[in-house]
């Protein structure tokens, strides 16, 4: 029997069907273990959120779309294998992507101690061997370069790129998950950085427009 079963029993019965429907709409196939891990992540978020205020989303059904599916929607554009999630908060999108793509080597970076404690607890309880939580400010973080650097939390595209300028590899990418109003920010990108591709994202159960901006150093195909 899975060690996650007691945790999963704390979820409302509506959560699993909502997750299944959303993953189906995204054409993402998961095995039983991955499904349990995603549900376990939701249960942990819901449990810890009561005491630690990890996210403004309180309703666990809403967490399915706003957190798990909103993270999963970028999976087709994540190759890694070394992926850095900057400003990961409680581990989003990094934990979801690590579950869905076990071949990734995911580093979660955040300066908030309680959020990194949650990341570590989730990694332990979900049995994730491919995730490394790190508590540090991004401008002080030093590591070997990453194939892709992703964020769904940075308010400013310019800040995201500027503060992480040394972290992607020479042919690496920045993946910025944004709302609809990013054109002004794109015009302010630092010299040497360009928009490689823009993907409009449709998140199941959500009506707000989302997009993924893939940025690269100039000259990278």
The CATH class that applies to domain 5-217 reads alpha beta
**Which H or E run includes 15?**
helix 15-25
Instruction: State how far the Cα of 16 lies from the Cα of 19, in Å rounded to an integer.
Output: 5
pLDDT for position 3:
85
3-state secondary structure of 35: helix
Q: Higher confidence at residue 192 or residue 155?
A: 192
Would you say 94 and 131 are in contact if contact means Cβ atoms under 8 Å apart?
A: yes
Do 120 and 133 meet the contact criterion of CB atoms below 8 Å apart? yes
Q: In which residue are the tokens 């908060």 written?
A: 89
Rounded to whole angstroms, how far apart are CA atoms 70 and 64? 8
**Residue 34 near residue 3 (C-beta atoms within 8 A):** no
CA distance 140 to 172: 20
**Positive or negative CA dihedral for 149, 153, 159, 163?**
negative
Average pLDDT over residues 18-46: 97
The DSSP 8-state label assigned to residue 1 in this structure reads -
Strands (E), the chain: 82-86, 105-110, 131-135, 146-151, 168-178, 193-201, 210-217
What percent of the chain has pLDDT above 90? 82
The structure tokens listed for 145 are 């370069």
∠ CA 16-20-23, nearest 5°, is: 135
Task: Please state whether the predicted TM-score (pTM) of the whole model is above 0.75.
Answer: yes
Tell me which DSSP letter residue 190 carries: P
At residue 1 the predicted structure's pLDDT band, cuts being 50, 70 and 90, is very low
The arithmetic mean of pLDDT across residues 194-211, rounded, is 94
- List the chain domain ranges: 5-217
For the ranges 1-5, 97-101, 176-180, the one whose mean pLDDT is highest: 97-101
Q: pLDDT tier at 197 (50, 70, 90 boundaries)?
A: very high
Please, what's the largest Cα pairwise distance for the chain?
55
Contact present, 51 and 86 (Cβ < 8 Å) = no
pLDDT at 110: 96
Q: Give the total residue count for the chain.
A: 221
Q: What are phi and psi of 168, to 5 degrees?
A: -75, 150
Residue 172 has pLDDT above 50, yes or no: yes
């Amino acid at each position: 029997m899975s060690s996650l079963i007691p945790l999963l029993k704390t979820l409302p019965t509506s959560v699993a069907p909502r997750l299944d429907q959303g993953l189906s709409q995204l054409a993402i196939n998961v095995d039983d273990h991955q499904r349990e891990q995603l549900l376990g992540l939701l249960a942990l978020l819901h449990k810890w959120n009561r005491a630690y205020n990890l996210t403004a989303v309180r309703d666990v059904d809403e967490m399915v779309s706003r957190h798990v599916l909103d993270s999963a929607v970028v999976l087709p554009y994540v190759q890694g294998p070394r992926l850095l999630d900057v400003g990961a908060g409680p581990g989003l999108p990094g934990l979801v992507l690590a579950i869905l793509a076990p071949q990734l080597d995911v580093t979660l970076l955040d300066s908030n101690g309680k959020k990194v404690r949650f990341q570590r607890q989730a990694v332990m309880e979900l049995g994730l061997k491919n995730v490394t939580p790190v508590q540090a400010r991004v401008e002080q973080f030093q590591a070997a370069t990453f194939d892709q650097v992703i964020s769904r939390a940075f308010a400013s595209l310019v800040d995201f790129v500027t503060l992480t300028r040394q972290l992607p590899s020479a042919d690496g990418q920045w993946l910025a998950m944004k709302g609809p109003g990013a054109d002004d920010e794109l015009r302010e990108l630092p010299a040497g950085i360009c928009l490689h591709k823009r993907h409009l994202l449709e998140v199941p159960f959500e009506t707000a427009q989302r997009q993924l901006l893939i940025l690269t150093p100039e000259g990278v195909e």
